[in-house]
Structure 1
Amino acid sequence: MRLHSLIPIIPTNLVSALEDCGIKIDTDLLFFDGTNVELLAKLPPGIVSLRELEEYTSLVAEHASAPAIRADQELEVALLRQRENALNISCGVQELDALVEGFGGGRVFEISGEKGSGKTALALQISLCMLAAHANTAVLWMDTCGDFSLERTLRVASELNIEATSTVLERLQVSLVLNIETAQDLVSELCSSVDTASELGAPRIRCIVIDSITPLLAPSLTAFSAQGHATMSTFMRELRDLARTHYFTFLVVNNTSSYLPHNPDSAFASTTRKPALGPSFTFLTDCTLWLAKSKNIEETEGATSMHVAEVFRSRMTQSKRWCSFKIHRGVLYSTT
């Protein structure tokens, strides 16, 4: 900061005299190589007294310093902003919501489990419940395998008794994403879409589903090159930054790989699988939710399957906690 910009706080004649001595900006004065007495000796007689020079130096330091911020005030503002922006997102099953303290709050959830365990069903139900409960929201669904089913979505919406189904589904945006570059481009567009939606009053994307992330990242993960791991880390950190900044909820579906004789992260000795993409991937999300199907039950109204949801790791809740739920006609229900 130039001393000239502090006039009239600092007298004009003093600023001119200091500039003649080569002291033109605040740091020149504050870090003068010498004492105030030595600096006063360099100035013309009668310009300023030693006491006045010390006072003016203190004023320069005050204006050059960053304003003080109280931590309690910053925390209050941050909590207020979080309350204003965070949505209460539920999957409709009380036990599952309690297991992870709800699916809102600007977090990245990894949903993993074997085929038929209910990963896509859970992500779809969370999305539809959010769209039905919050009229000004939208969901971006990244379909990486080309198997998103509109028929299934309509059936689940009907089973959930969602009113104005067509209006709800208008806010479910499905994009076919076949490589990580396309996924990165879509994520990069999210920030600008938030601002645009706010200006136009359009529904704002609050939930992003990647079903599944495994085909995007697995091909580049090799033991011979670190590039694939760097791409994975960069992409997942970007998701977490966006989740925290804009209070997005990311539901990242992940496939599995073998873990013999059993997975130590599970509370059950019968779990012989683990989430795919390596051990480091789990630490790039906020919560790893593992789903498993326990058995099928034949009922008069159709087949029902019993499932278990388990927290392998979480930044918010205790690990190795679990609950049971059932799936009937594609919809998740409580077992009680």
Structure 2
Amino acid sequence: MRLQSLIPTIPDDLVAALEACGIRTDADLLFSGTPVDIIQRLTPGVVSLADLKTYIGLVAESASAPGIRGDALYTEEIQRRRDYNLDITCGVDELDELVNGFDGGRVFEISGDRGSGKTLLVSQIALRLLAAYKEASVLWMDTTGDFSVERTSLIAQQLDGENSSAVLERLQVSLVLNIDTARALLEDVKSSLTTNALRDPRVRLVIIDSITSLLAPSLSAVSSYGHAIMTTFMQHLRNMARSYYLAFLVVNNTSGSLPHNPMSVFSSTVRKPALGPSFTFLTDCTIWLARHEDTTNAEAGSSIHVAEIFKSRPTRSRTWCTFKVHNRILRSATVPE
């Protein structure tokens, strides 16, 4: 920050004298030495040592982030939860308990190989939310063009019966093929939440399926540029989640992890989430899905899956549960068909 912008907090003659000594910004003033060192560089009589110390303190105050007490932050968070809190669940009690629900304020990474149930899980979370809360809407960012209206409609019919068409009216699907389009769409969401905060339906959940297609093309083993894009984008998601109490579900593809994935409690897990090891630390919870092929009952149209928590900030990591997929619906593994 230029010292010129702090006039009249700092007298203009002092600013001119400092600039003549090469001290032009707040950083120059704060880190060019002690007040005694600085005053020795100035023309005698421009400022007293006591006044210089006062002005340096004012500059430091202007350059600092405003402080806020912990109890004030806690009160603000409790109030935001009261204003925006929705009970977002997937309908599988064991999995909901593992992650303490899919409520707003967090970014969830959902990964697993093809057929593990990633898209079914995010679909069921979204449709259950829409069925339970008429004031809520969901934004689905389709990055591959694979979103299936027919499949989603069938799931909605099984979950909400005759009201499925009304539910789907509040599911916004956007084809997003690059990171710039994703950023622009998120800015539109932020703008709508800021200017139309009391207008319903309001976006409460954002799904990105898949995040890999957006970020992987920029990543490179010989440049940090792609990594910077990934970090900045994910930090933006986390800031939006906390500021507007949104829930983000980002679906991630997989890559190899031989001889096995050390984050998994199962030695048979030889895959891991894509986008590199640092991506795990850019989300609040990483859920790994896997399908037990030997338990598939083709005749009954059901299969058994495992959901494992690789990493979680609000709950325990390295925990897991099983669930069942029957006719495209996730159910508790103990519930009879």
- Within 5 A, what are the aligned runs for 1:256-271? 256-271=254-269
SS at match of 2:197: helix
Describe the superposition over 1:15-55 as per-residue Cα deviations: whole angstroms up to 9, x where unpaired.
Answer: xxxxxxxxxxxxx99x5479xxxxxxxxxxxxxxxxxxxxx
Amino acid at match of 1:294: H
Amino acid at match of 1:183: A
- TM-score under structure 2 normalisation? 0.77
Aligned partners of 2:139 and 2:203 also within 8 Å? yes
Aligned partners of 2:156 and 2:167 also within 8 Å? no
Residue matched to 2:24: none
Q: Would the alpha carbon gap of residues 70 and 198 (structure 1) be closer, same or farther in structure 2, given more than 3 Å must change?
A: closer
Residue matched to 1:39: none
Q: Which runs of 5+ in 2 are unaligned?
A: 1-6, 10-46, 54-65
Describe the superposition over 1:193-219 as per-residue Cα deviations: whole angstroms up to 9, x where unpaired.
Answer: 1134435x2310010000001111111
Aligned partners of 2:231 and 2:282 also within 8 Å? yes
- Within 5 A, what are the aligned runs for 1:236-251? 236-251=234-249
1:289 matched to 2:287 = yes
Residue matched to 1:230: 228
Q: Would the alpha carbon gap of residues 269 and 84 (structure 1) be closer, same or farther in structure 2, given more than 3 Å must change?
A: same
* CA shift for structure 1 position 175: 0.4
Amino acid at match of 2:89: S
Aligned partners of 1:141 and 1:209 also within 8 Å? yes
* CA shift for structure 1 position 297: 3.0
1:95 matched to 2:90 = no
Q: Would the alpha carbon gap of residues 162 and 246 (structure 1) be closer, same or farther in structure 2, given more than 3 Å must change?
A: farther
Q: Would the alpha carbon gap of residues 33 and 210 (structure 1) be closer, same or farther in structure 2, given more than 3 Å must change?
A: closer
Which one has a bigger Cα radius of gyration?
Answer: 1
Q: Would the alpha carbon gap of residues 109 and 71 (structure 1) be closer, same or farther in structure 2, given more than 3 Å must change?
A: closer
Residue matched to 2:18: none
Q: Would the alpha carbon gap of residues 69 and 155 (structure 1) be closer, same or farther in structure 2, given more than 3 Å must change?
A: closer
Question: Bigger shift: 324-333 or 74-83?
Answer: 74-83
- 2: CA distance, partners of 1:2 / 1:232: 41
* CA shift for structure 1 position 78: 2.7
Amino acid at match of 2:102: F
Describe the superposition over 1:159-209 as per-residue Cα deviations: whole angstroms up to 9, x where unpaired.
Answer: 21344211110100000111111111111211101134435x231001000
- 2: CA distance, partners of 1:195 / 1:97: 30
- TM-score under structure 1 normalisation? 0.78
Which of 197, 209, 212 is the equivalent residue of 2:210? 212
* CA shift for structure 1 position 117: 0.2
Aligned partners of 2:292 and 2:305 also within 8 Å? yes
SS at match of 2:306: strand
SS at match of 1:139: strand
Residue matched to 1:334: 332
What fraction of aligned residue pairs are identical, expressed as a percent?
A: 57
* CA shift for structure 1 position 74: 4.5
1:85 matched to 2:84 = yes
Residue matched to 2:41: none
Amino acid at match of 2:158: E
Q: Would the alpha carbon gap of residues 71 and 264 (structure 1) be closer, same or farther in structure 2, given more than 3 Å must change?
A: closer
Q: Would the alpha carbon gap of residues 143 and 164 (structure 1) be closer, same or farther in structure 2, given more than 3 Å must change?
A: same
- Within 5 A, what are the aligned runs for 1:300-315? 302-315=300-313
Give the count of matched residue pairs.
Answer: 279
* CA shift for structure 1 position 223: 1.0
Aligned partners of 1:132 and 1:162 also within 8 Å? no
- 2: CA distance, partners of 1:256 / 1:309: 15
Q: Would the alpha carbon gap of residues 74 and 229 (structure 1) be closer, same or farther in structure 2, given more than 3 Å must change?
A: closer
Tell me the C-alpha RMSD between the 2 structures: 2.4
- Within 5 A, what are the aligned runs for 1:25-174? 32=51, 71-174=70-173
Q: Would the alpha carbon gap of residues 324 and 181 (structure 1) be closer, same or farther in structure 2, given more than 3 Å must change?
A: same
Aligned partners of 2:208 and 2:251 also within 8 Å? yes
- 2: CA distance, partners of 1:94 / 1:163: 25
Q: Would the alpha carbon gap of residues 178 and 70 (structure 1) be closer, same or farther in structure 2, given more than 3 Å must change?
A: closer
Amino acid at match of 1:282: T
Q: Would the alpha carbon gap of residues 241 and 74 (structure 1) be closer, same or farther in structure 2, given more than 3 Å must change?
A: closer
SS at match of 1:190: helix
Describe the superposition over 1:129-160 as per-residue Cα deviations: whole angstroms up to 9, x where unpaired.
Answer: 00011110110001111111111011111121
- 2: CA distance, partners of 1:85 / 1:104: 10
Aligned partners of 1:293 and 1:305 also within 8 Å? yes
